[in-house]
């Protein structure tokens, strides 16, 4: 009975409070409450809303930082085409090359992109490669020799004589893959044959061949920092 009376008293007090605050603004209601009542009112009506708003703001800030915040500068981009190397070899090659050139991972990065699958989806890969080539994003392309032959004639690559220092150029003479180039009408330009490719067969990351063709590296014509391409070639030949 005593417990029942207490419950009734609480209900009565609540009812009295409701009537007492009828017609008051939220600010006036808060002023009329005791310290404990103010905390309960704040907890029940405002705390969860404030926590939810803070969570949303934190999420938005994180998203904006991810999209618009500073990003590492891509200092080297390798397009690995048509499974010219296995995924394990590509991952190992990227990790070892980054260590070789001693990049700052907070400010710099390399990209080894194996999504160029011309044999499986020639149109999509050709479009992607053309766009990346146009904006100067691709440093080197690593590919089977038959794909190199299709690209090299269209002047996609720099001659090795314009990239390598003389001593290294002479040292690699037996690895060069030659190609001529065609004009706008599709005719082969006379005396245009040069060393546009470098055979990678037998080097550290290309010992397990995935097909019967030679694996060829070429430096893209729109890439400006050819020095890092020389570093990459020397790294592969170590």
pLDDT in tens, 18-58: 544 555 566 666 566 666 666 666 666 666 777 778 777 77
Please tell me the predicted confidence (pLDDT) of residue 55: 76
Crossing angle, helix 87-101 and helix 226-236, to 10 degrees? 120
13 vs 23, residue with greater confidence: 23
Band (pLDDT 50/70/90 cuts) for residue 96 is very high
| DSSP 8-state class, residue 39 | H
Q: Is the pLDDT of residue 59 over 80?
A: no
Say if CB 218 and CB 152 are below 8 A apart.
Answer: yes
Q: Is the pLDDT of residue 225 over 80?
A: yes
Please tell me the predicted confidence (pLDDT) of residue 144: 96
- What are the tokens at 47? 């705390």
Between CA 101 and CA 109 the distance in angstroms is 11
Please tell me the predicted confidence (pLDDT) of residue 15: 45
| Rounded mean pLDDT, 62-90 | 82
Q: Is the pLDDT of residue 188 over 80?
A: yes
Q: Is the pLDDT of residue 107 over 80?
A: yes
Give the torsion sign (CA, 68, 70, 72, 77). Answer: positive
Between CA 215 and CA 93 the distance in angstroms is 15
Between CA 104 and CA 73 the distance in angstroms is 10
pLDDT in tens, 122-168: 999 999 999 999 999 999 999 999 999 999 999 999 999 999 999 99
Between CA 32 and CA 16 the distance in angstroms is 13
Q: Share the mean pLDDT of the chain.
A: 84
All CATH 3.40.190.10 domain ranges in the chain, comma separated:
73-236
Between the alpha carbon of residue 109 and those of residues 112, 154, 216, 236, the distances in Å are: 10, 29, 24, 18
Three-state DSSP state, 122: helix
Say if CB 160 and CB 131 are below 8 A apart.
Answer: no
97 vs 85, residue with greater confidence: 97
| Rounded mean pLDDT, 87-115 | 94
The structural architecture, per CATH, of the domain 73-236 is 3-Layer(aba) Sandwich (3.40)
Q: Is the pLDDT of residue 61 over 60?
A: yes
Q: Is the pLDDT of residue 17 over 50?
A: no
- Among candidate residues 93, 133, 99, 138, the one with its CA nearest the CA of residue 229: 138
N-term to C-term CA, the chain:
92
Please tell me the predicted confidence (pLDDT) of residue 114: 95
Other residues' Cβ atoms within 10 Å of the Cβ of residue 178: 12
- What are the tokens at 50? 């404030």
Between CA 88 and CA 92 the distance in angstroms is 6
Please tell me the predicted confidence (pLDDT) of residue 212: 83
Q: Is the pLDDT of residue 116 over 60?
A: yes
R_g over Cα of the chain: 34
Between CA 137 and CA 164 the distance in angstroms is 20
| Rounded mean pLDDT, 199-210 | 86
């Amino acid at each position: 009975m005593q417990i029942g009376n207490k419950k009734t008293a609480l209900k009565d007090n609540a009812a009295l409070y409701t009537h007492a605050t009828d017609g008051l603004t939220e600010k006036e209601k808060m002023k009329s409450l005791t310290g404990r009542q103010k905390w309960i009112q704040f907890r029940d009506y405002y705390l969860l809303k404030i926590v939810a708003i803070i969570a949303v703001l934190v999420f938005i800030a994180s998203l904006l930082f991810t999209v618009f915040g500073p990003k590492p500068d891509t200092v080297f981009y390798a397009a690995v085409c048509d499974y010219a190397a296995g995924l394990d070899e590509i991952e190992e090659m990227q990790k070892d090359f980054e260590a070789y050139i001693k990049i700052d991972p907070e400010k710099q990065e390399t990209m080894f992109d194996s999504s160029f699958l011309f044999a499986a989806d020639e149109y999509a890969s050709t479009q992607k490669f053309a766009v990346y080539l146009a904006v100067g994003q691709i440093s080197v392309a690593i590919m089977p020799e038959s794909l190199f032959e299709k690209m090299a004639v269209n002047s996609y690559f720099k001659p090795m004589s314009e990239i390598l220092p003389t001593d290294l150029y002479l040292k690699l003479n037996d690895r060069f893959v030659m190609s001529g180039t065609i004009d706008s009408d599709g005719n082969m330009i006379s005396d245009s044959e040069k060393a546009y490719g470098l055979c990678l067969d037998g080097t550290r990351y290309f010992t397990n061949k995935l097909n019967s063709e030679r694996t060829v590296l070429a430096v893209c014509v729109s890439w400006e920092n050819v020095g890092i391409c020389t570093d990459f070639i020397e790294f592969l030949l170590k």
